[in-house]
Structure 1
Amino acid sequence: MKYTYLSLLAFLLTGFSAVAQDTTNVSNSIPQNATLQECIDFALKNQASVQQALIDEEIGKRDIASALSGWFPQISADASYNYNVKIPTNVIGDQVIQFGQKHTSALMFQADQRILDPSLLQASKAAKYIRLQNAQNTESSRINITVAVSKAFYDVLTSEEQIKIIDENIARIKKQLADANARYETGLVDKTDYKRAQITLSNTEAERKRTVEMLKYKYAYLKELIGADISQPLQLSYKAGDTMESEMLVDTTQILQFERRIEFQQLLTQQRLQQINTQYNKWTFLPNLSAFYNYAWDWRTNNGLSSLYDVDYPRSVLGVTLSIPIFQGTKRVQEIRKSKLQEKRIDWDITNLRNQINTQHQQALATYKANLNDWKTAKENVELSKEVYNTIKLQYDEGIKTYLDLMTAETDLRTTQINYLNALYAVLSGKLDVQQALGNISFK
């Protein structure tokens, strides 16, 4: 019966462990055919830098609680035992009298309560802004990871589409290779066209291989950004072209508001904390005021140690302590002056940050507009290169154009299609830079 009971218990524990493990795996698994928003949501829950920022935020809360705990009563207990090898003496009149006994012991409980303390005043004033600073650090981490994941997501989609374009190109070249071979066998042309087609096919297949290998790296990088396990499969859900095109527009007429930037908010919080530090240095001229209460038991005897605790002599004290720092060699004055200089330095940091944000916004806006124009040109070039290719293909089939003209048109078509994809990615990436410069990056 005992063996059966232990076996059943082990089975149940194993089952619960497996269920818990499955639950954990489900909560940390990437959705199949993940969208951009799902990738961002997953990253905000699993990315190391975001989780570290959240942990730092919790650590900050504990630091604040630890600093403010000084306002609570501080209770302590002290115990001692002494054996007086030589009992101290003193002279009273003409007599030498011993003060004390051979064995002494004491036990004391004491409660201290701070009433006025500059360091605790500073901790109370700064607590609100330290919490805000930690929360802003977490928000900054989330913004950065949102932008990085979005760019990596679009980069993967661009490479996926590039492979499709190359595959279409390879299919056309293979057909042209077969046509060139047939023309050669029928004696219409020499073997030059066939060899050129082979060379073009080999180069295009090599390009596809290179793009596929780079795509593996881009998937690995995206997994790293979202905090996914390297063994987890990752597939993205998208409708290439139309979906990315519909997401690439941004309002370029928005007015730049510095207060929306998390970096600006962080600097304002730092400025407030520095002002509190200056106030603290002024508070150091205040006295320290505290109250205390203690209760103690004393034991003493000249007999053996076994009788030391037979009789106790209790004592108790209630009092107030006032400590006034009168002169500390101008240290407090120098600290005040230094803190004010640090305030001025932060003022200049704010001015410098304003200029940097404005420059970043102008650069992001100019880059986005230029990329948008390049995208429009690339899109038009794709349509033109298709028309040119189709025309030259018909002329080649009729024997008007040479195979070299056809290969040139084929290369131009592939180049314009890839340029279009690169321009589309540049616009999407530029849009994210504009949104980040405006402080408009949102996340759940």
Structure 2
Amino acid sequence: MASTEQDPLLLLRQSIASGGAITPTASSDVSAQEVPLSQATHLTFSTPSHISLPIDTQTRFTSNDTPVDLRSIYIAWLKREVAIPEYNASVSKLNEELGDKGQVRMLAFVERLDLITWLEGASEECEYIKPLAGDKDGSTSTAAAALASKGAAAPAIGAKLGRSGKGTLDPRLAVIYNSERKMGDRNSVLRGIKPTDFSHVRKLAAPFMSKKSQQAPPTSISNNPALATHKKPRRPDPIILLSPSASSLLRMTNIKSFLENGQYVPPNSLSASSSTGASMLHINRLMKDIDPNRPMRFILVEGPEQFKPEYWNRVVAVFTTGQSWQFKNYKWSNPSELFRHVPGIYVGWRNEKPPESVRNWGHRVVSIGIDPWKESTHNTIDSSRWRDHEIVEHIWKVIEGNMRSKGWRRDQAPTSI
């Protein structure tokens, strides 16, 4: 065991605190050149004065009640920032290089952590370091460590530590040191002297976390007012209902060509066959009095079988043939009540009168006549159907006027009609 005057642990800690050089050398000469650790026989400290100690000197640090040599302590300090596997690999490599010259003690994780914390000055106690001989309470090591941790010059090796001249700390000075406030660093605050296992806290918190997750609603824009203000709700698409009657002049097969292009073709013609079998169509129309900047998309369906209750507030027109069975599954099955909420549109031939039922429903059902269809010899659209475009514009005017009166705006739709 090293003497009190040349304790390797105190020398190492004091040199670290003061930033002094710690050099492995191949001789006891303090001016010797640095050599690789595998070839070193001594460790030279530049502060407080040049001192060289044999590198295999046993220290007061113990592992499994066995003293650990200075070389093992020094390499543990050199590898303080690396992970455990890298530290173990470095020790194994050094042992191979040393051969029969000696062996480096591989410290356990807790031992290495406790040693590094003490050497850095973050802790004044280390359970693996035995007190100095003749100083069982550890006051001598504490005094020297306190000086070293402050970066001040510790008492010279061999000099008296106190005024009593007996090699022990003066009692009055000990009182002063005991009254000092110990300042910790990140190591003592975050890690402490020993690693603490908080895994038991997870088990205690599990019931509270599961209960909170069941009660707390999912975070979304819909239930978070702070987020909802940054995203405007999307305006729903208006809906137009068509008549499913086989006698209707406008069906799913030809309604898109009629309302978008202003051209009428019979529902069973070759020109209309591309839309056969569709249960829903989309058409775009610019409603200048509602939104002059972007076209509105309209949804066209023949029946309300897939409707949700709120969909009825989006219905803007009902095409009818005058047959009341069409309204059997509607929200308002009575035609008179239906057309108080939604405008009706009857499209027939120009040279024929509307059915009596349409005339009885009053002005809320607009009757429109189109020119009779004439078959072309070359399966082309009749060039004389220029009136179709005028009729389509009239239909859209009726729909747009109703939408404005019901509350359709550029960025919103009515909540009821």
Structure of greater relative contact order (alpha carbons < 8 Å, 6+ residues apart): 1
TM-score when scaled to structure 1? 0.15
The structure that has the greater radius of gyration is 2
TM-score when scaled to structure 2? 0.16
Larger helix fraction of residues: 1
